[in-house]
Amino acid sequence: MTQLVDDVVSAGGAERRALVTQQDEVWTYGDLHRAVQQVAAGLMSLGVRRGERVVLVLDDTPAFYATLLGVIRLGAVAVPVNFLSRAEDIAFFVDDAYAVAVVCDGVLLPKVAPVVAERSRVKLVVANGQPPAGAASLDAWTNGPPRQVQPQPSHPDDAVVWLYSSGSTGKPKGVVHRHTSVRATVDAYAKGVLGITADDVCYSTTPLFHAYGLGNSLWFPLSVGACVVLSSGRPTPDVILDRVRRHRPTLYFSVPALYAALLATDATAGVDWSCVRLGVSAAESLPGEVGRQFLERTGVQVLDGIGSTEMLHIYCSNRAGSVAWDTSGTAVDGYELQIRDPDGGPAGEGDAGELWVRGPTMLVQYWHQVDRSRAKLQGEWFATGDSYRRDEAGNYVYEGRVDDMMKIGGLWVSPIDIENRLIEHAAVHEAAVVGVTVDHRSRIAAHVILAAGHTGSEALVEELQSWCKDKLLRYQFPHVVHFVADFPRTATGKIQRFKLREG
């Protein structure tokens, strides 16, 4: 995957739009091709060589593209990390990956520069800002004279990128992916499910450092010569609507929390969404009610799917024209899925169990985590940690993380069933359900964000409990309801249920 941009340029696409920045500056594929080579030359002058790791602490700007592709051009390995990480986390990433260089945005220097200064072997490169003494300037590289740097030959099994997963406990895990995985996810999902072409305009609310965002905004569009609409900073509804209104994306990628946030904003209905031919949702399960309302409000059909950092992108998905709400659809071509019981055997028909997946994009290993790698990588299979069952139509239905499942009165309960039912109530905007202990007994707690115009009360608690009992099994209702302003979330909007259990 070292020649994504080269292929577009050599096919006569140098003048095609590649990137539209937050400031509406347009970068063509020719511009990006030059910048990639200039950054590769700059990194080479710092001594970066094949196989070495370069950490990227960058927001979604052209600098991210030029750096990641420049690193790969040298045969080195790009390690994009969350630019909102604390200094101690960045220090962990640098040390764990044995990084030889860090490329960061200028606004992030106060936390990144001290980390690099304490590590004499590590070079600092600053993008979108003025570098301190002793650091290199990526801006000077890209604004300098054109350079010719030929891509280093690579083996399909060479490492191309490391992505640190945001585990619920302990330190993040370095997930190692190889070159062949990138091509496989482009062919299987971007082309096979989305039918992406050079005429598409992609807009993703998930940042590039995340596996989902990296596919949405880099691997997928650049593989076909499509255009990417970038958005830096926090993706609020106002920002999203502005980007859709002004730049008319055809493929819109987001997460359930932001689809719900758009539904809570009256301005959403005032934007013409007819440009968007498909919406995509991942990171966590999309409640069917949210998908249905979004289709009604905007005319955009949202394909919910499941992917992971370990599998690089989505491997089970709904399909255009045949969406099954409240499911993750079926396996993407090239992937196989199995539902396993706690002993590792096949689960019974219709029973829930841990989802196992095998396919061409599976991680090579968790870096520095041999025991974890052995536990999760079962031969050709990856044990996802997600609990699923299959419905009568063969669609995969998410039941929650294996460690999120709740045992009430000796019976297993899925938090997703209760959350989806709660969201159907007019007073509920979002819901997150976890298991808690009350008076030494296992109980179900619902954390509820109310819809506009509604107020929490004991009467509403009882109404929500009855609402669940009317549709679900008698024991599938929240014993406790907390009305909250928001949930603890990851950088991509995923609800951190373990923090709700702790609280």
Instruction: Provide CB contacts within 8 A for 358, sequence distance 6+.
Output: 335, 336, 380, 381, 382
**For domain 405-502, which CATH number applies: 1.20.58.340, 3.40.30.10, 3.30.300.30, 3.40.250.10?**
3.30.300.30
Give 170's pLDDT tier (boundaries 50, 70, 90).
Answer: low
Question: Would the CATH topology of 4-154 be identical to that of 188-401?
Answer: yes
Band of residue 32 on the pLDDT scale cut at 50, 70, 90: very high
Question: CA-to-CA distance for 169 and 92, rounded, in angstroms?
Answer: 15
User: How high does pLDDT run on average in the chain?
Assistant: 94
Q: Is 194 helix (H, G, I), strand (E, B) or coil?
A: coil
Q: Distance between CA 306 and CA 299 in Å, rounded?
A: 23
For residues 353 and 340, is the Cβ–Cβ distance under 8 A?
yes
Q: Specify whether the CB–CB gap between 128 and 163 falls below 8 A.
A: no
Strand partners, 182: none
pLDDT tens for residues 91-129? 999 999 999 999 999 999 999 999 999 999 999 999 999
Taking 70 as the threshold, does the pLDDT of residue 89 lie above it? yes
Write the pLDDT tens digit of every residue in 350-360.
Answer: 899 999 999 99
Q: Which among 250, 259, 319 has a CA at the least distance from the CA of 284?
A: 259
CA atoms within 13 A on the CB side of 208: 30
Confidence of residue 404 (pLDDT cuts 50, 70, 90): confident
403 pLDDT tier (thresholds 50, 70, 90) = confident
Cβ density class 53-75: b for 16+ within 10 Å, e for less = bbbbbbbbbbbbbbbbbbbbbbb
Class of the domain covering 4-154: alpha beta
- From CA 472, how far away is CA 417, in angstroms rounded? 8
pLDDT at 401 > cutoff 60: yes
Mean pLDDT, to the nearest integer, of 187-204?
98
What confidence category does residue 269 fall into, taking pLDDT thresholds of 50, 70 and 90?
Answer: very high
User: Quick check: 194 and 187 in contact, CB under 8 A?
Assistant: no
pTM > 0.75: yes or no: yes
Q: Are 380 and 357 in contact (CB under 8 A)?
A: no
DSSP sequence for 113-126: HHHHHT-TT-EEEE
Report which residue type is found at 300: V
Where are the chain's structural domains?
A: 4-154, 188-401, 405-502
Alpha helices per DSSP H over 129-210: 138-143, 179-185
| Number of residues in the chain | 503
Question: Strand 353-358 to strand 381-390: parallel, antiparallel, or no bridges (unpaired)?
Answer: antiparallel
pLDDT (0 to 100) of residue 481: 95
* Rounded mean pLDDT, 423-438: 92
pLDDT at 168: 44
pLDDT digits (tens, 9 = 90+) for 276-325: 999 999 988 999 999 999 999 999 999 999 999 999 999 999 999 999 99
By the 8 A CB rule, do 5 and 222 touch?
A: yes
Contact 405, 389 (CB under 8 A): no
Q: Is the pLDDT of residue 169 over 60?
A: no
- Average pLDDT in the 403-428 region? 85
Q: Bigger pLDDT: 99 or 3?
A: 99
Q: How confident is the model at residue 165 (pLDDT cuts 50, 70, 90)?
A: confident
Identify the weakest region by mean pLDDT among 153-167, 269-283, 316-330. Answer: 153-167
Query: Would you state the CATH architecture of domain 188-401?
Result: 3-Layer(aba) Sandwich (3.40)
Q: Minimal CA–CA distance to 129: which of 59, 80, 71, 65?
A: 59
Q: Could you tell me the end-to-end alpha-carbon distance of the chain, in angstroms, rounded to an integer?
A: 44
Query: Would you list the DSSP string of 433-483?
Result: EEEEEETTEEEEEEEEEEPTT----HHHHHHHHHHHHHHS-TT-S-SEEEE
| CB-based burial label for 221 (10 Å; 0-12, 13-18, 19+) | buried
Task: Annotate 434-443 with b (16+ C-beta within 10 A) or e (fewer).
Answer: bbbeeeeeee
Which tokens belong to 428?
Answer: 């509920």
State residue 398's pLDDT score. 93
Q: What is the pLDDT of residue 194?
A: 98
Q: For residue 340, what pLDDT is reported?
A: 95
Q: What pLDDT score was predicted for residue 2?
A: 56
Strands 314-317, 302-307: pairing is antiparallel
- Provide, rounded to the nearest whole percent, the portion of the chain with pLDDT above 70: 97
**Rg from Cα positions in the chain:** 23
At residue 410, the pLDDT reads 66
Of 352, 418, 354, the closest CA to residue 386 belongs to: 354
| Mean pLDDT value of segment 250-264 | 95
Q: How much is the average pLDDT of 69-79?
A: 98
Residue 52 C-beta-side C-alpha neighbours within 13 Å? 18
